[in-house]
Amino acid sequence: MFELPKLSYDYASLEPYIDAETMQIHHTKHHAAYIQNLNDAIKGNEAIFEGKTLEQLIENLPSVPQGIREKVRNHGGGHLNHTLFWQVMTPKGQKEPKGKFGLELKRAFKDFKTFKEEFTASAMGRFGSGWAWLSVRRKKLEISSTPNQDSPLSSGARPILGIDVWEHSYYLKYQNRRADYIESWWNVVNWEEVGRRLEIALK
Ligand code: MN3
């Protein structure tokens, strides 16, 4: 049984960039629903987790019994994606990443500004609901976007940063202005956590 993870910061602490009401609904309603639906789907199929984590199942969806595969993909993906999303945000966001990760980012995308532009374009270009990602594939950084709750894990990449561009993540404050939401979101990115994830992915 999966449980809703606690956040390490208050719902109001990402203001003014992300409002408390959006955070609360997003966490306690949307994320909680993915977990509830995932738990419902795996009831009676607990054996699929024998020796395997949810990450490993999402990495290898064909290994999940067909009858629950779509549910694991959508709700399991939703659970993993949101868990990452909360962790890569912080009230103490820094303007740009430093240290080893900052250097890796510059090596892969020329400079931080170019990375931001390419990532933003990916998030803006996602038609309908989905995510934009910075992932590691074969030790290299790449930007991508996925529809719905699909995870880069399913195509062999390891996500280290992701932005939720489903309307529920910004509509209350930004209505249809996805670009404004993304621009604000950069202020709350937890570069320390993204750097930590990069180190693990490169191992
Ligand atoms: Mn969401």
Reading the chain (203 residues) residue by residue, the pLDDT tens digits are 999 999 999 999 999 999 999 999 999 999 999 999 999 999 999 989 888 999 999 999 999 999 999 999 999 999 999 999 999 999 999 989 988 899 999 999 999 999 999 999 999 999 999 999 999 999 999 999 999 999 999 999 999 999 999 999 999 999 999 999 999 999 999 999 999 999 999 98
What residue segments make up the domains of the chain, in order of their start? 19-87, 99-201
Tokens of 166: 């489903």
Question: Within 10 A of 17 (CB to CB), how many other CB atoms are there?
Answer: 16
Question: Judging by DSSP bridges, how do beta strands 158-164 and 140-147 pair with one another?
Answer: unpaired
The confidence score (pLDDT) of residue 203 equals 86
CA of 45 to the centre of ligand 1 (A): 26
> How far apart are the CA of 46 and the centre of ligand 1, in A?
25
Q: How far is the CA of 85 from the centre of ligand 1 (A)?
A: 9
In three-state secondary structure terms, 150 is coil
Q: Which residues, in sequence order, are CB contacts of 103 under 8 Å at separation 6+?
A: none
Residue 107: the pLDDT is 94
Six token digits for residue 100: 């080893």
Per-residue model confidence (pLDDT) at position 52: 93
Structural fold of domain 99-201? minor pseudopilin epsh fold (3.55.40)
Centroid of ligand 1 to alpha carbon of 52 (angstroms)? 25
3-state helix, strand, coil in the chain (%, to 5): 60, 10, 30
Q: How far apart (Å, rounded) are the C-alpha atoms in residues 80 and 90?
A: 18
Distance in Å, CA 31 to ligand 1 centroid: 7
Fold agreement (19-87, 99-201): no
Task: Identify the CATH assignment for 19-87 out of 1.10.287.990, 3.30.2270.10, 3.90.950.20, 2.30.110.10.
Answer: 1.10.287.990
pTM for the predicted model, two decimal places: 0.97
Q: Would you state the pLDDT for residue 43?
A: 94
161 CA → ligand 1 middle, Å: 14
- The Cα 91–Cα 113 span in angstroms is 22
Instruction: Report pLDDT for 98.
Output: 87
CA of 163 to the centre of ligand 1 (A): 9
Q: What is the rounded distance in angstroms from the CA atom of residue 15 to the CA atom of residue 188?
A: 9
User: If you measure from the C-alpha of residue 130 to the centroid of ligand 1, how many angstroms do you get, rounded to a whole number?
Assistant: 9
